[in-house]
C-alpha cells in the first residue's frame, strides 16, 4: 500500500467509528424522556399560566400572528 492510500483508509475508518458512536449516543439519549416532577409542573403552570395543552387549531384558522 502506498502512503496516501493508507492515510485515506485510516480517515475512512475514523469517520465510520465517529458516525457509529454518534448514532449510539443519540439513540441512548432519546430512548426515555424523563417525566416532570410535581414541582416542575407547578412552576410551568405559574410561568405559562396553564398546565393544559393549547386548544386545537380550528379549520380555516390562520397560524401566523396578527401584527
Give the tens place of pLDDT for each residue, 22-48: 998 888 666 556 677 888 878 877 777
Residue 29 burial by CB count (10 A; 0-12/13-18/19+): exposed, middle or buried? exposed
Q: What is residue 33's three-state secondary structure?
A: coil
Query: What pTM was computed for the model?
Result: 0.43
Lowest mean pLDDT segment, chosen from 7-11, 16-20, 31-35: 31-35
Contact 4, 14 (CB under 8 A): no
C-alpha cell at 17: 467509528
Residue with the bigger pLDDT between 13 and 30: it is 13
Amino acid at each position: 500500500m502506498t502512503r496516501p492510500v493508507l492515510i485515506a483508509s485510516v480517515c475512512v475508518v475514523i469517520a465510520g467509528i465517529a458516525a457509529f458512536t454518534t448514532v449510539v449516543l443519540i439513540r441512548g439519549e432519546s430512548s426515555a424522556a424523563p417525566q416532570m416532577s410535581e414541582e416542575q409542573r407547578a412552576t410551568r403552570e405559574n410561568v405559562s399560566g396553564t398546565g393544559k395543552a393549547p386548544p386545537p387549531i380550528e379549520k380555516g384558522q390562520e397560524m401566523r400572528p396578527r401584527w
